[in-house]
Amino acid sequence: MTAPSRERQVLGLGRGVSSLIPGEPITLSADAQVSAVLAGLRTVPVQAAVLQAAAVLLSHLVDTTDDDGIREATTTTLAHLNRVLNEDGPQAS
């Protein structure tokens, strides 16, 4: 009896991995996707200047985009970012 070829070993692995992946793609709403991503985040210190730079870029996007959906999402994000920048000191968790 001979050992299985490398190609046959890889194909066997592929079948095992593919059985773990659902056949049809799962579609999530944008809110669900954001929630999933944010759930994996951890709190880390960030320099205020980085957040201020992000606010400037987002403001520019709000002023220049023709897409109402992008403008609305960016405006909301910018409001949250500005709220964080205007807070006094760290918040208790």
Q: Give pLDDT tens digits for 24-77.
A: 666 778 888 888 778 778 777 888 899 899 999 999 999 999 999 999 999 999
pLDDT for position 70: 92
pLDDT for position 93: 43
Distance CA 54, CA 76 (A): 13
Residue 2 has pLDDT above 60, yes or no: no
Task: Over range 75-85, report the average pLDDT.
Answer: 91
| Residue 25 to residues 21, 22, 28, 29, 37, Cα–Cα distance (Å) | 9, 7, 10, 13, 18
Residue 18 has pLDDT above 50, yes or no: yes
pLDDT for position 1: 53
Distance CA 93, CA 85 (A): 17
pLDDT for position 28: 76
| Residue 13 to residues 1, 16, 17, 20, 73, Cα–Cα distance (Å) | 21, 5, 6, 11, 42
pLDDT for position 92: 45
Cβ neighbours for 61, distance < 8 A, ≥ 6 positions apart: 70, 71, 74
